[in-house]
Amino acid sequence: MSFSETTRVRAREIIARYPADRSRSALLPLLHLVQSEEGYVSPAGVEFCAEVLGLNKAQVGAVATFYTMYKRKPTGDYLVSVCTNTMCDMLGGQAVYDTLAEHLGVGHEETTADGKITLEHAECLAACDYGPVMTVNYDFFDNVEPQGALGVVQELQAGGRPMPTRGARLCTLKEMAVQLAGFADERDGAVADGGPGEPSLRGLRLAEQHGISVPGFDPRTPIRSKAEADRAAAEAKAKAEAEKPAPAPRDARAAEAAGAAANPPAGDRKPAGDAAGAQERNLKDAETGTDADGADPADANGTGVRK
């Protein structure tokens, strides 16, 4: 698998977001990026990430297999995740899942024969107050019941792109992976603002009604919208900048630098590649299909063991 020029350009852009000696931090978005091209993280995707970051394939594979959002086998255009964790299950999540499984003829982490829809059980999707919930490519459908969920899936099968409860009209999993890699979501309504919904505030309301409070917490503290929170954060940052102490005199800074040089951090024996020069070399090698020592990097099983 040779990744497209667009993916290579985006990979450079992602790596450039991190300090040269912290390039391995780019691994999570890079895994989303390779997933945006292939629909899953293939052995070739693991190899690409390893090459451009100067890591070995075992290191990349360890991360890719830890997080459930990185798929290890081809996944449908639409990933339907039904929460069957405790709260959603109590509210009917399993019935939603069973209805979809029967309709699609697939089970957990299986994809329909036309490659369109993958179904999965999900653990808590962090929207218990709207349970039972399901997501399609990580966009939420709140308070779903079997027939409503079935309607969404049937619309997808008919080629439609239903509107989730919040956010923009659905996109494909590959399109979503580009956004998860940190690139702007251009869909209308994709970036919304607004305060929390009533179900999210229910506990607070009950606490108010019953006079329950946490020591030191004022229940009348306003809950800000995103715009208000951003404004407050910008003001706080400006204030902190204004109050920052003047830089230390030159000789004190030189002494500090000398101390730091004499006491390198212990134990972080990173593999080669965290330096900017090595990154560039690795990226070039990835483009030409060779690795840093000129060897063929192919490793079809993606285990990190070089042939």
List residues near ligand FES by CB under 6 A. Answer: 83, 85-88, 124-128, 131, 133
Residues 6 or more apart whose Cβ sits within 8 Å of residue 108? 119, 120, 121
Q: Concatenated DSSP letters for 105-122? A: T--TTEE-TTS-EEEEEE
Helix-helix angle 276-288:43-53, to 10 degrees: 140
Q: Is 110 helix (H, G, I), strand (E, B) or coil?
A: strand
Q: Is 97 within 8 Å of 84 (Cβ atoms)?
A: yes
In terms of CB distance, is 83 or 119 closer to ligand FES? Answer: 83
Q: Is 304 helix (H, G, I), strand (E, B) or coil?
A: coil
Residue 243: CB minimum distance to ligand FES, A: 41
* CA dist., res. 197 & res. 127, Å (int): 11
Residue 301: CB minimum distance to ligand FES, A: 35
Rounded to 5 degrees, φ, ψ at 83 are: -75, 120
In terms of CB distance, is 30 or 128 closer to ligand FES? Answer: 128
Residue 81: CB minimum distance to ligand FES, A: 10
* CA dist., res. 46 & res. 27, Å (int): 10
In terms of CB distance, is 144 or 171 closer to ligand FES? Answer: 144
The amino acid sitting at 258 is A
Residue 92: CB minimum distance to ligand FES, A: 11
Residue 86: CB minimum distance to ligand FES, A: 6
Residue 93: CB minimum distance to ligand FES, A: 6
Burial grade of 275 (CB within 10 A; 0-12, 13-18, 19 or more):
middle
Hunting for tokens 């297999």 — which residue is that?
65
Residues 6 or more apart whose Cβ sits within 8 Å of residue 80? 100, 117, 118, 119, 120, 134, 135, 136, 153
In terms of CB distance, is 87 or 101 closer to ligand FES? Answer: 87
In terms of CB distance, is 64 or 127 closer to ligand FES? Answer: 127
Q: Is 4 helix (H, G, I), strand (E, B) or coil?
A: coil
Rounded to 5 degrees, φ, ψ at 110 are: -110, 155
Residue 129: CB minimum distance to ligand FES, A: 8
Residue 152: CB minimum distance to ligand FES, A: 17
In terms of CB distance, is 36 or 135 closer to ligand FES? Answer: 135
In terms of CB distance, is 44 or 82 closer to ligand FES? Answer: 82
In terms of CB distance, is 105 or 203 closer to ligand FES? Answer: 203
